[in-house]
């Protein structure tokens, strides 16, 4: 075939299944339908000015494929006015889409049911390295709006390069919580085991956007910055995280936080009740620092400090990326004396899907709590 210039209307349940037909590598996607102009000139095929939907996202743009090189080279420019964040799961080996009959195929929905019953969030589907080495590509994806129920993600501008089995983001820039996250990542699938390097930079994320809507969130504002640098090896995203080695830090400088939230964190009953009666108000955040360092998926807390005008909260513990668990103990220290301040340790623990925070009964001790109650009664008498 040569010299074709036709209108093409194509649909299916997963773009990854086009590989045997076209020898082009696409990530796993939810059901799609795209329509545009298909043109063939010599060794070059182009699919131009196409538009349509992939899962819950609209998609338009141009695809150009040169079949002359040893490995076909694809150059793509994609734009979405409204992108469903779930539809990107295929890029890390996950299952895109979870709405039966809407944004996922029957097979993907069945996999989603299995995923919901699992206590893990990192996909363990092995990467198909042979497909990754089948072609080279330059891809640009711009999403003007991102739909996500759980994360405050606003938009996306990503540049992706695939050459000799090495996949690179340089960078993928997400608008997050009124700031941005820049991800420079390299996945080397040219040999086994695969190697990954992730360098993520957080710039002025608004703390308020990460809290549920309500009075506590309204009185909490702070710019979050930081950096995550990790390396790992493995045949799936889960294995890559289980071997992750590196360090991360997060900081907050300036801003303010709900006074009630701070008093509750310090378990200062007297002042918390006073705040409820008189009304919550914001108090300045002097600084906050979290530094994690680790090897083979075991990330230990090196520094955890949260300093406000009323309290200092410090902490220790670790984050287990292999078993996807958190175990951190925080020690609140109110800066003023209160007879009803329990000075209790607070433990943040559980799997990534079910993290909870609670006063630590082992660290606090029932007898110490009883003694404090008696002391309070004695003072009142």
Q: Is residue 82 assigned to a domain?
A: no
- Mean pLDDT of all residues in 231-254: 93
Give strand ranges (E) for 144-281.
Answer: 146-147, 153-163, 166-176, 179-188, 194-206, 223-234, 245-252, 256-258
CB 199 within 8 A of CB 185: yes
pLDDT by residue (tens digit) across 37-80? 999 998 999 999 999 999 999 999 999 999 999 899 999 999 99
pLDDT at 54: 94
pLDDT at 270: 44
Find where tokens 């919580």 sit. 177
Region of poorest pLDDT, from 14-23, 72-81, 82-91: 14-23
- Compute the mean pLDDT over every residue in the chain, rounded to the nearest whole number: 80
Tokens encoding 362: 């082992």
pLDDT by residue (tens digit) across 326-339? 999 888 777 665 55
Q: Give dist(CA 184, CA 200) in Å, integer.
A: 6
Q: Is residue 341 assigned to a domain?
A: yes
Asked whether the bond before 5 is cis by omega within 30 degrees of 0, the reply is no
pLDDT at 277: 42
Q: Is residue 346 assigned to a domain?
A: yes
Region of poorest pLDDT, from 33-42, 199-208, 214-223, 312-321: 214-223
Q: Can you give the residue range of the structural domain that contains 282? A: 192-381
Rg (CA), the chain: 25
pLDDT at 117: 52
Q: Is residue 65 assigned to a domain?
A: no
pLDDT at 180: 96
pLDDT by residue (tens digit) across 273-306? 444 444 456 667 788 899 999 999 999 999 999 8
Question: What is the residue-wise DSSP string for 50-119?
Answer: EEEEETTEEEEEEEEEE-SSSSEEEEEEEEESSEEGGGGGGGGT-----SBTTTB-HHHHHHHHHHHHSS
Helix (H) or strand (E) holding 367: helix 366-380
Q: Is residue 148 assigned to a domain?
A: no
Region of poorest pLDDT, from 113-122, 137-146, 187-196, 362-371: 362-371
Q: Is residue 214 assigned to a domain?
A: yes
Number of compact structural domains in the chain: 1
Q: Is residue 87 assigned to a domain?
A: no
Find where tokens 């040569």 sit. 2
Q: Is residue 109 assigned to a domain?
A: no
Q: Give dist(CA 26, CA 15) in Å, integer.
A: 6
């Amino acid at each position: 075939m040569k010299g074709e210039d036709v209108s093409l209307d194509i649909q299916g349940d997963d773009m990854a299944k086009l590989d045997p037909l076209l020898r082009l590598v696409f990530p796993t996607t939810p059901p799609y339908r795209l329509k545009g102009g298909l043109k063939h000139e010599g060794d070059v095929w182009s699919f131009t000015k196409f538009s349509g939907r992939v899962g819950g996202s609209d998609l338009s743009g141009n695809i150009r494929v040169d079949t002359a090189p040893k490995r076909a080279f694809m150059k793509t420019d994609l734009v979405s006015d409204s992108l469903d964040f779930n539809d990107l799961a295929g890029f890390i080996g996950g299952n895109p889409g979870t709405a039966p009959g809407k944004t996922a195929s029957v097979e993907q929905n069945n996999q989603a049911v299995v995923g919901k019953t699992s206590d893990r969030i990192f996909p363990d589907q092995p990467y198909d390295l042979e497909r990754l080495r089948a072609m080279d590509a330059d891809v640009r994806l711009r999403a003007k709006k991102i739909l996500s129920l759980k994360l405050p993600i606003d938009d996306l501008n990503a540049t992706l390069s695939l050459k000799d089995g090495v996949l690179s983001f340089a960078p993928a820039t997400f608008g997050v919580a009124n700031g941005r996250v820049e991800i420079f990542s390299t996945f080397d699938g040219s040999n086994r085991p695969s190697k990954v390097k992730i360098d993520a930079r957080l710039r002025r994320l608004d703390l308020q956007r990460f809290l549920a809507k309500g009075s506590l969130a309204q009185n909490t504002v702070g710019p979050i910055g930081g950096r995550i640098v990790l390396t790992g090896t493995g045949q799936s995203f889960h294995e890559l995280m289980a071997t992750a080695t590196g360090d991360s830090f997060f900081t907050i400088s300036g801003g303010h936080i709900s006074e009630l939230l701070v008093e509750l964190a310090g378990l200062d009953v007297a002042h918390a009740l006073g705040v409820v009666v008189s009304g919550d108000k914001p108090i300045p955040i002097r600084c906050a620092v979290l530094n994690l360092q680790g090897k083979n998926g075991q990330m230990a807390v090196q520094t955890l400090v949260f300093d406000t005008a009323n309290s200092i909260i410090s902490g220790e513990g670790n984050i287990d990326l292999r078993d996807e668990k958190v175990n951190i103990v925080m020690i609140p220290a109110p800066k003023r004396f209160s007879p009803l301040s329990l000075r209790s340790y607070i433990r943040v623990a559980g799997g990534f899907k079910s993290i909870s925070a609670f006063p630590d009964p082992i660290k606090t001790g029932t007898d110490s709590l009883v003694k404090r109650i008696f002391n309070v009664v004695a003072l009142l008498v």
